[in-house]
């Protein structure tokens, strides 16, 4: 093949390539290149023809010139270039030597990476946004699960957060309805086992005759009525995750022995089986009973009690943390109103009665009552008369007047608009006294912060200055 034909073939290859191919001589002058790709450098063909890469580098068109780098280093090089047009270019160049080892040509390839880089940046921003949203969702989930303002509950939440990073056994103590199961789930969600199962077992609801097969599972045909393929027990389902035994004081004595063996040996056998199964779970228990008294009476094993009582956390009843009652009332009003597409509010005197109530059923009783009031009251304002009689104590329902005294102002309840406005003002006054900022007031009232600011302007003559 003649030199002219070789040149034509070379030019054809270069011009039809999807890459920007440039060939320079030993002095850096451009011999061949495909002009269609130089738009990424922001210049026309007449600008670079006959010029050297050194000159284009001086003019800032090639920044830097990879061909110039190869001419100096005499070795293949790959770099990222930033062009005047804002493009990101990945350039790779190779030296060509003659038979005597002299460098005679440099071939470089340039690929526009701008779109890829933009996609990478967008992907990075998207990942960051997803992480932010996940963080917000987790915060919202925690807020939905656990609503509190009191110092006692804040301290318990901090303790839960600290011990969640370990595998230490936690025992949650407190009356029924204080939120022990919510704390147990929070403990799991904040642990390194959060992606694994959370198995909750209420020991008081499983018949004693079925307890062993439910907890440990059974092999096929181990007893009459058993499933043919056998069954996985609750302990086995909790493998690598968290096993939460609620009402642990109701655990039968024979099951206490078997649970103790599981905790000590980290193995178990299914009912009717001979094979030892290894197990790994984090144990959390809860009870409203005094296990120490049960130990003295012989209804709870002392050795198991010591195994369970590693980190006891006492959750106080709602009546001992009145700061939480108001925020729980507002939270449940908002949630249940949304659930049933209603917009009902508590009359201020109803609100005060609920604040002063002893709440023997704790948070669960409060939640159930709010739902009951929203579903059964016909008016948009829930008056004290809708409350069960035991909520009024010595004050009978007949003594509740048709008027309401708020800061020495008599409000006629027969005027619905007036009553609604006074309820709103009364709530704003209460929030303003108890909260340090408009953001706290928003959380207290269950509305947005801008709404708080607007209402503060509306009732500015009745509120303390913030």
Q: Which tens digits make up the pLDDT trace of 244-284?
A: 999 999 999 989 999 999 999 999 988 888 888 999 999 99
Confidence of residue 371 (pLDDT cuts 50, 70, 90): very high
Determine the Cα–Cα distance for residues 301 and 40; give it in Å rounded to an integer.
80
Determine the Cα–Cα distance for residues 79 and 62; give it in Å rounded to an integer.
12
Question: How far out from the chain centre does Cα 424 lie?
Answer: 33
Confidence of residue 322 (pLDDT cuts 50, 70, 90): confident
**pLDDT value of position 133:** 65
Determine the Cα–Cα distance for residues 345 and 382; give it in Å rounded to an integer.
6
Confidence of residue 398 (pLDDT cuts 50, 70, 90): very low
**pLDDT value of position 395:** 44
Whether pLDDT at 98 is above 70: yes
**pLDDT value of position 349:** 82
DSSP 149: -
Average pLDDT over the chain reads 82
Whether pLDDT at 312 is above 70: yes
Determine the Cα–Cα distance for residues 410 and 399; give it in Å rounded to an integer.
16
Q: Treating both helix axes as pointing N-terminal to C-terminal, what angle do 438-445 and 416-434 enclose, rounded to 10 degrees?
A: 130
pLDDT tens sequence across 408-461: 344 444 556 666 777 777 788 778 877 888 888 888 887 888 888 888 888 776
The region that residue 310 occupies, defined by phi over 0 for left and psi between -120 and 50 for alpha, beta otherwise, is alpha
Residues in CB range of 409: below 8 A, 6 or more apart: 422
In our burial notation (b when 16+ CB lie closer than 10 A, e otherwise), range 230-264 reads bbebbbbebbebbbbbbbbbbbbeebbebbbebbe
Determine the Cα–Cα distance for residues 279 and 134; give it in Å rounded to an integer.
31
- Secondary structure element (H or E) that encloses residue 172, with its range: strand 170-173
**pLDDT value of position 212:** 86
Of all residues in the chain, the percent with pLDDT exceeding 90 is: 35
Determine the Cα–Cα distance for residues 447 and 458; give it in Å rounded to an integer.
16
pLDDT tens sequence across 150-194: 889 999 999 999 999 999 999 999 999 998 999 999 999 999 999
Q: Does residue 235 or residue 142 have the better pLDDT?
A: 235
Whether pLDDT at 230 is above 80: no
* Length of the chain in terms of residues written: 466
**pLDDT value of position 2:** 65
**pLDDT value of position 221:** 60
Residues in CB range of 32: below 8 A, 6 or more apart: 10, 11, 14, 21, 22, 23
In our burial notation (b when 16+ CB lie closer than 10 A, e otherwise), range 178-215 reads bbbbbbbbbbbbbbebeebebbbbebeebeeeebbbbb
């Amino acid at each position: 093949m003649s030199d002219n034909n070789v040149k034509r073939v070379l030019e054809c290859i270069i011009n039809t390539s999807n890459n920007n191919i440039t060939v320079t001589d030993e002095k850096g002058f451009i011999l061949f290149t495909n002009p269609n790709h130089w738009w990424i450098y922001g210049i026309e063909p007449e600008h670079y023809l006959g010029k050297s890469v050194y000159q284009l580098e001086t003019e800032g068109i090639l920044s830097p010139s990879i061909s110039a780098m190869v001419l100096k280093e005499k070795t293949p090089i790959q770099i990222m270039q930033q062009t005047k047009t804002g493009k990101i270019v990945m350039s790779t160049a190779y030296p060509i030597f003659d038979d005597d080892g002299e460098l005679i040509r440099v071939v470089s390839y340039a690929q526009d990476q701008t779109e890829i880089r933009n996609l990478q940046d967008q992907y990075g921003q998207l990942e960051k946004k997803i992480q932010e949203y996940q963080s917000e969702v987790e915060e919202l989930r925690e807020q939905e699960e656990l609503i509190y303002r009191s110092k006692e509950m804040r301290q318990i939440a901090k303790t839960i957060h600290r011990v969640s990073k370990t595998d230490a056994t936690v025992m949650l103590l407190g009356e029924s309805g204080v939120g022990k199961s919510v704390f147990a789930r929070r403990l799991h969600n904040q642990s390194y086992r959060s992606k694994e199962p959370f198995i909750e077992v209420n020991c008081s609801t499983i018949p004693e005759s079925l307890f062993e097969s439910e907890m440990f599972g059974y092999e096929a045909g181990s007893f009459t009525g058993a499933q043919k393929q056998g069954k996985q027990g609750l302990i086995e389902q909790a493998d690598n995750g968290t096993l939460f035994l609620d009402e642990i004081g109701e655990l039968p004595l024979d099951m206490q022995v078997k649970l103790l063996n599981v905790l000590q040996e980290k193995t178990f056998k299914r009912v009717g089986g001979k094979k030892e199964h290894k197990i790994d779970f984090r144990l959390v228990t809860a009870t409203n009973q005094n296990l120490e008294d049960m130990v003295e009476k012989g209804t709870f094993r002392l050795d198991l009690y010591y195994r369970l009582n590693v980190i006891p956390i006492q959750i106080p009843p709602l009546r001992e943390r009145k700061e939480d009652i108001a925020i729980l009332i507002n939270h449940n009003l908002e949630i249940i109103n949304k659930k049933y597409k209603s917009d009902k509010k508590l009359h201020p005197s109803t609100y005060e009665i609920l604040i002063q109530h002893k709440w023997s059923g704790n948070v669960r009783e409060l939640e159930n009552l709010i739902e009951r009031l929203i579903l059964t009251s016909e008016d948009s304002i829930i008056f004290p008369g809708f409350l069960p009689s035991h909520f009024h104590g010595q004050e009978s329902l007949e003594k509740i007047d048709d008027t309401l005294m708020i800061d020495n102002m008599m409000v006629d309840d027969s005027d619905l608009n007036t009553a609604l406005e006074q309820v709103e003002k009364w709530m704003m006054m209460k929030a303003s006294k108890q909260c340090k900022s408009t953001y706290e007031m928003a959380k207290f009232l269950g509305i947005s912060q801008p709404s708080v600011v607007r209402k503060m302007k509306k009732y500015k003559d009745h509120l303390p200055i913030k």
